[in-house]
Amino acid sequence: MKILVVDDEPLARERLLRLLHRLQPSANCWQAASGEQALVLVERHQPDLLLLDVRMPGMSGIDLAARLDEQAQPPAVIFCTAFDQYALEALQHQAVAYLIKPVREAELARALAGAGRVNRVQLASLAAVATPQEAGEHASGAPRTHLVSQTHRGVETMPVTDVRCLLAEQKYVTACSPTAQLLIPDTLKELEQEYGERFVRVHRNALVARAHIVRLQRDEDGTWYVVLDGVEQRPAISRRHLAEVKQRLVAG
């Protein structure tokens, strides 16, 4: 199999190439940082499959797939995206695989087994939800509005504004809201970088939403906790983070 990974983010390309090396050790793999570069490599190597970022500066993944669809034998396509709306769209268009970043090995394995060739109807549907506002958000690095998880029930999302805390345990992070809990593939470090001042680090295993902090509470054993509105979770505050948490809350 010949596979081309197309993504403007170097770390995303490297991660996919590592996964492909484990899943398809005999495959010939190339990488491209843009749609324009990908067109050159497609003509040169005639890959069987593209792992394709949806949003890229210049030629987007949608535009690239449309160009490839004009070929007599276009390659199969697996779209990779950080935007949950594209994943939800995948439920309506099962012929094309979609993966939510950061891509998991098991999900990539399933996608490799079921990837299909994109058609014009699917491209039109995908382009319809790729609004200019969303394109600008990707270019500017604006945070997502929803957290996304792929579960046995399908694709599930949670509005970031509903999240009270983010708790890390083993390999997963749990997003907690008053009505639900969602296991997500992101790390706390990635979420902290993405959402900036929205969440406060209170422990190496916990971020809490500043807007939903009711108070800080100290138990008899001297441990400090964060009391949040609408949820039972009370994330503990580590000694390392206590002074900073108090300072940030006082500063507003």
Report cis status (omega within 30 of 0) of the bond before 235: no
pLDDT at position 237 over 70:
yes
Q: What are phi and psi of 73, to 5 degrees?
A: -130, 80
pLDDT at position 36 over 90:
yes
- Band (pLDDT 50/70/90 cuts) for residue 22 is very high
pLDDT score of 68:
86
pLDDT at position 25 over 70:
yes
Per DSSP, helices labelled H in 55-141 are: 61-69, 84-90, 105-114, 120-129, 132-140
Q: What are phi and psi of 151, to 5 degrees?
A: -120, 180
- Band (pLDDT 50/70/90 cuts) for residue 214 is very high
Instruction: Show Cβ contacts of residue 129 under 8 Å, excluding neighbours closer than 6 positions.
Output: 85, 86, 89
Instruction: Write the single-letter amino acid at 55.
Output: R
Highest mean pLDDT among 2-16, 84-98, 105-119: 2-16
Percent with pLDDT over 70 in the chain: 80
Predicted confidence (pLDDT) per residue in 54-68, tens digit: 888 888 888 888 888
- Band (pLDDT 50/70/90 cuts) for residue 247 is confident
Mean pLDDT value across residues 2-10? 94
Whole-prediction pTM: 0.49
pLDDT score of 142:
64
Domain 161-251: which topology?
OB fold (Dihydrolipoamide Acetyltransferase, E2P) (2.40.50)
The mean of the pLDDT values for the chain is 82
Domain 2-140: which topology?
Rossmann fold (3.40.50)
Distance CA 252, CA 246 (A): 10
Q: What is the domain partition of the chain in residue ranges?
A: 2-140, 161-251
- Band (pLDDT 50/70/90 cuts) for residue 101 is confident
Predicted confidence (pLDDT) per residue in 140-196, tens digit: 456 788 887 765 555 678 899 999 999 998 778 999 999 999 988 788 998 998 898
What would the two tokens of residue 140 be?
């500017």
Contacts within 8 Å (CB) and 24+ apart, 132-140: 134/55, 134/83, 134/85, 135/55, 135/60, 138/55, 138/82, 138/83, 139/55, 139/57
